[in-house]
Amino acid sequence: MYLPTQRTVVVVGHGMVGHRFVEALRSRDTDSTWKVVVLSEEAEAAYDRVGLSSYVGAWDRGSLALPGNTYAADDLVDLRLGTRADHVDRGARTVTTSAGEVVAYDALVLATGSYPFVPPVPGHDADGCFVYRTLDDLDGIRRAAETALARAAAEGREANGLVVGGGLLGLEAANALRLLGLTPHVVEFAPRLMPLQVDAGGGAVLERLITDLGVHVHTGAATQSIAREEDGRLAVGLSDGSALLTDLVVFSAGVRPADAVARSAGLDVGERGGVVTDITCRTSDENVWAVGEVAAVEGRCYGLVAPGYTMAEVVADRLLGGEATFPGADLSTKLKLLGVDVASFGDAMGATPGALEIVHTDATKGTYAKVVVSDDARTLLGGILVGDAAAYTTLKAYVGREVPGDPGALISPAGAELGADALPDDAVICSCNNVTKASICGAITEGACDLAALKGCTSAGTTCGGCLPTVKRLLVDSGVELSKALCEHFEQSRAELFEIVASTGIRTFSALVARYGTGTGCEICKPTVASILASTGSDHVLDGEQAALQDSNDHFLANIQRNGTYSVVPRMPGGEVTAEQLITIGEVARDFGLYVKVTGGQRIDLFGVRVEQLPAIWQRLVDVGMESGQAYGKSLRTVKSCVGSSWCRYGVQDSVGMAVDLEHRYRGLRSPHKLKLGVSGCARECAEARGKDVGVIATDKGWNLYVCGNGGQTPAHARLLASDLDDETLVRYIDRFLMFYVRTADRLQRTAPWLDSLEGGLDHLRAVVCDDVLGIADDLEAAMARHVAGYEDEWKAVLDDPVKLARFVSFVNAPEEADPTVAFDESGPRKVPVLLGMPSTRRPSHPQST
Amino acid sequence: MTTITTPFGLALAPDSAPAPARTVVRPGVLPAPGPKDWVPACAVHTLVPGRGVAVLLPGGAQAALFLLPNGMIYAVDNIDPYAGAAVLSRGLTGDRAGEPTVASPLLKQVFSLRTGVALDDPKVSIPAHSVRVQDGVVHIGLRLAGTSAVR
């Protein structure tokens, strides 16, 4: 909608902060007083630059896209990608773009971010030199790395990559090179790594930990020259006189505010760059604002995204007449670099006059911890943690406060751990979302009695998750007893019962409930135990006492519908079906008068089967080499696939073949909740595998494995577990993943919430599945091997067993008599059941168009 | 050997496989007072402990008949009043604090097998029928005044 009074704000730059500004403005500007034009120099709409390194391996641009970054449904936002702002005419209030257009503004917001600083050494612009800032930069590094690896292999040597700069970003770049298969070298001018965050002692521990990971560290060395050697490699000369031969160079020696447009427009800039603003983020021109890394708020630039977001919110508020100001920012950092924890908070370097430092170093464990306290040793001022940052959240909450007791005890392993109960109420527990101890405790009092509920109502722990251990401790301290009892008959959780069954070898419900529970069971514990028995043995689900435990659908091996009839879904691995099979399905549907619908899982659903008709239909399927399938039960449902490399011109792997293999392998597997898998033959991801519990996406080198994606009520994208796997490793990892889930998840806990509840999250899961840190991988694989070997067509087994077959009758005293209460209405556009006491639920059918 | 003929003429041979020796099969509740029309349903041994079967009654009504692992037999109406479908015989049995129950296989509402009351919603209940076991055959008792109302 265009209003005559509408004004235009032009946003220059579409990074994380620019996008946040647009979102903030559009969500608050309910009267549509502003129209937004966004100029983005990059051709890619705003993406998660903080997570840039996660692009390595998956090479999936889509997974880094920020939600809502194209404003597709918002016609008040005009996003122009690949369009740079070349010139600002402040008098005329216009911006001239690289496309030659002149855009008029009422307000201009500069969100140009920063650019990587490249030291002006000779040869810095040689081929093979890169910076580390954009997706395109990483694509370039990837191509160069692949060329280098091929060349190095031909020459029988290892391929090297050199990173100039040993700060946070430099170490991330080194890790990227390592993931690409290069041996990384890091050259840092300062005498230690991460000189801004850690001190000499912490730097020494960090250097040792990083070196142990195969990264060669050269500290106290300046890069002086880069020259191309005859063999095509680059020789990098260092200030200590040595030279390193490398296949490629990545500069990450810091960033500078991208303030060129502002300078040429005559806006005030800081001594060290950055557009100077007041605390409202307004520049020296009242119609021009600056946010994010390009802004020097009261002369100070901030290189973190959180302060940038705050600035974006401030300007959005101001444009709508608000009074917000930028409150300054907490520059504390906690991160994991190459798996090494590093945290730095408050006055980490002890710059406060009279400040005292207490240090605890453990060379054997590779940890360094320092706290900085006031001259009377009572107030905590800051600190540094390397190697183990578990104490970060608690310590940070004490910054600026009096410490109870001996401050040295805060970091001494022998010292009593500071309880969360000792924290003051206004201590910020979750700094990402600014949640205090008081609001978490308030939520607990109001009834949030588990982690998921607390996350939901306070947002604590929903961003980086670093504070979750503290949140959990608050929950425990509050006296909330988290009942893990399965139901009134078992005090144990599902995972505990699994362990009991696995270790005692108990194979009947009656023995289990007699020894470990009370009563006779119920509709909750019986199917749970049935599922555990199915996962730990290969008896038929209707054998012996197990028959009485199965949920109704597992008992009748079909999916009950609202009128008590069933639907039958023939198994169709990978959605593949022959003409003969399709004809049989059609004939069955015709002969039994069934309603037919294609499912979302690439199968065909046949509705309206009466219980006594089920065996006859299964027999018809068996006769043409098919079997029925689980469209019910807590078990593997389907493995969805795209058509893959056999037919698709884009496909790089045989996704159908892989999907068929996976479905044959895992069919019949019982689990805490339903399981869905997907296989895509290329990065276009047509099988929507990232919405599945296990998603497999082809790469030109093999397969990327994603896990814990869910559709349904609480959708979650699957997350990358491992990249470029060969077929055998892929299947091995999926075996381990599925069995680990089957063993440890709660009843009805799907994989995404299960992952959320795993202590250590994705990193821990990867350590268990890929690195076998628990030493259980062989066990998990053996359990899956038993499942695969023990699989039988459950439906055919019923046909072959007269005792089981005899249960598929309408009435025990009239086995052939059709249930007189089952009726259908076929007068409308589709056949529907008619329920008792509800003669017609049908809405009037839509008039047919002619 | 006694052969029982059901109302639909189906012959049942009750003694081909006796019920497990240690479990005495008997009605879970005493028959309600008053004269009954006893409808033979099936041989006891055909019942799977913990599960139910549907029984077609004269006049087109139907009952859900259950044998619990402790030997108790119960019969309630087969129609789930929430769903309007004849499915309760296919529900899972169990107990709530000792009260024998069946859960509807559709939306899992739990009914007492003794009284037919929906335990989470006591305003709702289904008819509970008397049962007896004679010569190894389970009978369902219908009040002579008529059958339980179905529709």
If we measure between CA atoms, which residue out of A100, A70, A68, A66 comes closest to residue A83?
A100
Mean of pLDDT values over A436-441: 86
A560 touches chain B (CB under 8 A): yes
Render pLDDT for A138-169 as a digit per residue (tens, 0 to 9): 999 999 999 999 999 888 899 999 999 998 88
Q: Given CA atoms A153, A154, A157, A159 in this order, what sign does their dihedral have?
A: negative
A432 assigned to a ligand binding site: no
B48 touches chain A (CB under 8 A): yes
Architecture of B46-143 per CATH?
A: 3-layer Sandwich (2.102)
What pLDDT does residue A463 have?
63
Residue A686 has pLDDT above 80, yes or no: yes
Render pLDDT for B19-35 as a digit per residue (tens, 0 to 9): 444 567 888 887 777 77
Residue A801 has pLDDT above 60, yes or no: yes
Q: Which of the residues A812, A817, A835 would you substitute to probe the B interface, choosing the one with the greatest number of B C-beta atoms within 10 Å?
A: A812
Instruction: Place A328 in a pLDDT band, splitting at 50, 70 and 90.
Output: confident
Q: How far apart are CA A782 and CA A735, in angstroms?
A: 9
In this complex, do A548 and B7 lie within 8 Å of one another by their Cβ atoms? no
Instruction: Place A462 in a pLDDT band, splitting at 50, 70 and 90.
Output: low
Residue B7 has pLDDT above 90, yes or no: no
Residues A736 and A773 in one domain: yes
Percent of chain A that is helix, strand, coil (3-state, to 5): 35, 25, 45
Q: Where are the alpha helices (DSSP H) in A241-334?
A: 260-264, 305-319
Render pLDDT for B45-74 as a digit per residue (tens, 0 to 9): 999 999 999 999 998 899 999 999 989 999
Q: Which of residues 112-141 of B touch A (CB under 8 A)?
A: none
If we measure between CA atoms, which residue out of A689, A667, A749 comes closest to residue A495?
A749
Whether residue A342 is contained in a domain is answered as yes
Mean of pLDDT values over A101-130: 93
Whether residue A581 is contained in a domain is answered as no
Containing A784, the helix (H) or strand (E) segment is: helix A777-790
Query: Cα A845 from chain centroid?
Result: 44
First to last CA, chain B: 39
A730 phi, psi to nearest 5 deg: -55, -50
If we measure between CA atoms, which residue out of A698, A700, A694 comes closest to residue A684?
A698
The ipTM, to two decimals, is 0.83
What pLDDT does residue B8 have?
38
Domain residue spans in chain B?
46-143
Whether residue A536 is contained in a domain is answered as yes
Please state, in angstroms and as integers, the Cα–Cα distance from residue A12 to each residue in A84, A301, A817, following that order. Answer: 8, 18, 75
Of B69, B83, B108, the CB nearest to A523: B108
Whether residue A409 is contained in a domain is answered as yes
DSSP string, chain B: ---EE-TT--EE-TTSSPPPTTPPPEESSPPPSS-EEEEEEEEGGGSPTT-EEEEEPTTS-EEEEEE-TTSEEEEEESEETTTTEE-GGGSEEEEETTEEEEE-TTT--EEETTT-BBTT-TT-B--EEEEEEETTEEEEEEETT-PPP--
Residue A837 has pLDDT above 90, yes or no: no
Render pLDDT for A177-225 as a digit per residue (tens, 0 to 9): 998 999 999 999 999 999 888 999 899 999 998 998 889 999 999 999 9
Amino acid at position B94, single letter:
G
What pLDDT does residue A285 have?
95
Mean of pLDDT values over A47-52: 87
In this complex, do A563 and B105 lie within 8 Å of one another by their Cβ atoms? no
How far is the alpha carbon of B74 from chain A, nearest alpha carbon, in Å?
Answer: 15
Q: What is the dihedral of CA A281, A287, A290, A291, to 10 degrees?
A: 70
Residues A133 and A204 in one domain: yes
Residues A682 and A737 in one domain: yes
If we measure between CA atoms, which residue out of A15, A7, A1, A29 comes closest to residue A79?
A15
Is A430 in contact with A443 (CB distance < 8 Å)? no
Q: Could you tell me if residue A513 is left (phi over 0), alpha (psi between -120 and 50 degrees) or otherwise beta?
A: alpha
Residues A501 and A476 in one domain: no
Residue A99 has pLDDT above 80, yes or no: yes
In this complex, do A806 and B8 lie within 8 Å of one another by their Cβ atoms? no
Residues A657 and A759 in one domain: yes
What pLDDT does residue A279 have?
93
Q: Please tell me the total count of domains within chain A.
A: 6
Q: How far apart are CA A285 and CA A539, in angstroms?
A: 78
Residue showing tokens 């801004």: A196
Both tokens of A327, joined, read 């409150």
Please state, in angstroms and as integers, the Cα–Cα distance from residue A400 to each residue in A197, A377, A378, A423, B30, following that order. Answer: 19, 12, 10, 12, 75
If we measure between CA atoms, which residue out of A802, A806, A849, A807 comes closest to residue A829?
A849
Residues A788 and A641 in one domain: yes
What pLDDT does residue B2 have?
38
Residue showing tokens 């290892």: A158
Q: Percentage of chain A surpassing pLDDT 70?
A: 95
Of B50, B79, B90, the CB nearest to A552: B90
Instruction: Place B151 in a pLDDT band, splitting at 50, 70 and 90.
Output: very low
Residues A220 and A277 in one domain: no
Q: How far apart are CA A820 and CA A810, in angstroms?
A: 10
What pLDDT does residue A666 have?
96
**Interacting residues of A402 by C-beta distance below 8 A, sequence separation 6+:** A378, A379
Q: What's the CATH number where A98 sits?
A: 3.50.50.60
Task: Check residue A847 and report its DSSP letter.
Answer: P
What pLDDT does residue A413 have?
64
Q: How far apart are CA A681 and CA A642, in angstroms?
A: 6
Of B55, B60, B98, the CB nearest to A519: B98
Closest-CA residue of A relative to B5 is A813
Mean of pLDDT values over A356-378: 87
- What Rg, from alpha-carbon coordinates, does chain B have? 15
Is A752 in contact with A716 (CB distance < 8 Å)? yes
Q: What's the CATH number where A762 sits?
A: 3.30.413.10
Domain boundary at A517, A539, A556, which?
Answer: A556
| More confident position, A61 or A595 | A595
> Which residues in chain A are closer than 8 Å to B110, comparing Cβ atoms?
522-523
If we measure between CA atoms, which residue out of A137, A336, A335, A160 comes closest to residue A251?
A137
> Which residues in chain A are closer than 8 Å to B60, comparing Cβ atoms?
820
Instruction: Place A332 in a pLDDT band, splitting at 50, 70 and 90.
Output: confident
Whether residue A96 is contained in a domain is answered as yes
A820 touches chain B (CB under 8 A): yes
Render pLDDT for A237-254 as a digit per residue (tens, 0 to 9): 999 888 999 999 999 988
**Interacting residues of B75 by C-beta distance below 8 A, sequence separation 6+:** B41, B55, B63, B64, B65, B66, B128, B129, B130, B131, B140
Mean of pLDDT values over A69-76: 90
Strands A34-40 and A77-81: parallel
What pLDDT does residue A544 have?
83
Residues A547 and A675 in one domain: no
Residues A233 and A162 in one domain: yes
> Which residues in chain A are closer than 8 Å to B109, comparing Cβ atoms?
none
Of B8, B65, B92, the CB nearest to A551: B92
Residues A172 and A244 in one domain: yes
A589 phi, psi to nearest 5 deg: -60, -40
Indicate the SS3 state at residue A175: helix
Is A426 in contact with A437 (CB distance < 8 Å)? yes
Render pLDDT for A538-580 as a digit per residue (tens, 0 to 9): 788 888 888 889 999 999 999 999 999 999 999 999 999 999 9
| More confident position, B149 or A834 | A834
Q: What's the CATH number where A454 sits?
A: 1.10.10.1100
A686 assigned to a ligand binding site: yes
Both tokens of A168, joined, read 């946070």
If we measure between CA atoms, which residue out of A252, A312, A292, A260 comes closest to residue A84?
A260
Can you give the residue range of the structural domain that contains A428?
Answer: 419-480
Q: How far apart are CA A296 and CA A283, in angstroms?
A: 9
Residues A250 and A265 in one domain: no
Residues A669 and A776 in one domain: yes
Instruction: Place B1 in a pLDDT band, splitting at 50, 70 and 90.
Output: very low
